[in-house]
Structure 1
Amino acid sequence: MPEISACAGRSPLRDLHVPRPVKKSKTVYEGRVWDIARESFRMDPEHKGQDPLTRELMVHPGAVAVLAVRTQLSTVGPREQVALVRQYRHPVGMELWEVPAGLRDVDGEDLHQVAVRELAEEADLRAREWHTLVDYYTSPGGSTEAIRVFLARQVEEIPEAERHARTDEEAAMPLAWVGLDEVTDAVLDGRVHNPSTVVAILALGAHRAQGWRRLRPVDAPFVPDRHGPGADWPA
């Protein structure tokens, strides 16, 4: 079978921003954090005789995640560690090891501000060096949720008197610094399942293998999430 180029030699491989006009939209469920909408559209907007498709989707505000990395000296030399929190996730009935993360639910905050806040609130940490690590959709077949994962380095603990008071699921959420190789093995062995953690760890390995030259700035353009605040599509 001949190879088919997705780019046809014109530009680097990238997803295409070609939303179909929505003919009908209705919110069928209003939730505390996200809603469920039912939308109808035509795959070919010019084909007037084509029956519309109807899909239900989660309307999500979007989120950020933070992979905080530090280097510790050991008897065998420098050792990279990443910050993980263990949080109970009721839908799957499991306590998952996760990178700190949170919703874009404060008006006026840009993505980096959300990341700084979440790292402080969930892990009592702050960082002096920030980069964009990777962007992804959690479930593009059924949700608008888009997540940016940041890389945070030169990390330090926040003094106890300045720390956020955690409640609900976050109240019993321990922090652990775990060796990067150990976390990578856990991801590849199927022992760690949180999507942001899996994506972040694999992206970190790819960036490290390429000498960090592909890291994007902290304010790099973000993928679109139609129903979320402040997103734009890369030119």
Structure 2
Amino acid sequence: MSDEADAARHAFDVVSTRDIHVGRILALRLDEVAMPGGGTANREVVEHLPAVAVVAVDERDNVMLIRQYRHPLGRRIWELPAGLIDHAGEDPLQTAKRELAEEVGLAAEHWSVLVDVAVSPGFTDEATRVYLATGLSEVDREIMGEEEADLTQRWVSLDESVRMTLAGEIVNAASVAGLLAAHVVRSGLTQPRPPESPWRDRSTRFAAREQ
């Protein structure tokens, strides 16, 4: 369906909204939304800072994974180097470069966009952009806090990362999407997007609260 045809359909206008909780990286609000049948319905929405993740691939098609503790799951999981875009005007690519250096001590000469992930659009606006980084070199890593000090890292082949993903050993949404997309790109089946490509669904509402 075209954007024009979609715009002509019912608009789910927000009749009222109120905050339930506002935290450090997210907020929970309750929207009253106009429905097609003429009534309204309540929708709980989690506003979250946007994020980036990086599939860093070396010349032998090995990819860098990190293992860190994720409290909501109650365990350490394998995932891609990643981080939050802390400021509304921050360039996502610069965030990706910073996180790659801080978390695993790497810089990259070539960057492109693999996928944009709406993490769970049924209740949150959280979105992550996943980059492909190649032409890698080592840089000094600065440990920024206790979580990064606990972080471990490992090179695995891109094929092995796909196996881990399909086996349920990698479950982080952006990591799953990014690794599978990287495998498709490195197989020559399609091309990634330029690093400055538009990001339509980048979450902005929570960051705008801080302005």
| TM-score with structure 1 setting the length | 0.80
2:49 to 41, 47, 61: 61
Contact 2:130/2:174 (8 A) holds in 1: yes
Contact 2:97/2:107 (8 A) holds in 1: yes
Q: Which of the pair has the greater relative contact order for Cα pairs under 8 Å at 6+ separation?
A: 2
Matched, 1:199 2:163: no
Sequence identity, in percent?
37
2:30 to 35, 38, 50: 38
Q: Structure 2: where are the runs of 5+ without partners? A: none
Q: Structure 1: where are the runs of 5+ without partners? A: 1-6, 73-79, 231-235
d(CA) in 1 for partners of 2:163, 2:88: 38
d(CA) in 2 for partners of 1:107, 1:129: 25
Aligned to 1:85: 66
Aligned to 1:216: 193
Aligned to 1:29: 21
Q: Give 1:69's aligned amino acid.
A: V
1:43-81 deviation digits (Å, cap 9, x = unpaired): 33xx6xx11111111111111111100023xxxxxxx10
Contact 2:88/2:204 (8 A) holds in 1: no
Q: Give 1:126's aligned amino acid.
A: A
d(CA) in 1 for partners of 2:137, 2:77: 24
d(CA) in 1 for partners of 2:123, 2:12: 15
Matched, 1:171 2:159: no
| TM-score with structure 2 setting the length | 0.88
* Equivalent residue runs for 1:22-171 within 5 Å: 22-44=14-36, 50-72=38-60, 80-159=61-140, 163-171=141-149
Match of 1:139, SS? coil
Match of 1:70, SS? coil
Match of 2:57, SS? strand
Aligned to 1:190: 168
Contact 2:13/2:34 (8 A) holds in 1: yes
d(CA) in 1 for partners of 2:204, 2:32: 15
1:34 deviates by 0.5
1:123-149 deviation digits (Å, cap 9, x = unpaired): 111101000010010010010101100
Contact 2:54/2:81 (8 A) holds in 1: yes
Contact 1:146/1:223 (8 A) holds in 2: no
1:20 deviates by 2.6
Aligned to 1:3: none
Aligned residues: 203
Match of 1:183, SS? helix
Q: Which structure's CA Rg is the greater one?
A: 1
Query: Post-superposition, which runs of at least 4 consecutive aligned residues in structure 1 deviate over 3 A?
Result: 16-19
Contact 2:184/2:190 (8 A) holds in 1: no
Q: Give 2:79's aligned amino acid.
A: E
Greater shift, 82-91 or 101-110, is seen at 101-110
Q: Relative to structure 1, is the Cα distance of residues 126 and 212 closer, same or farther in structure 2, using a 3 angstrom cutoff?
A: farther
1:106 deviates by 2.9
1:213 deviates by 4.3
Q: Relative to structure 1, is the Cα distance of residues 145 and 191 closer, same or farther in structure 2, using a 3 angstrom cutoff?
A: same
Greater shift, 107-116 or 119-128, is seen at 107-116
Match of 1:91, SS? coil
Q: Relative to structure 1, is the Cα distance of residues 228 and 116 closer, same or farther in structure 2, using a 3 angstrom cutoff?
A: farther
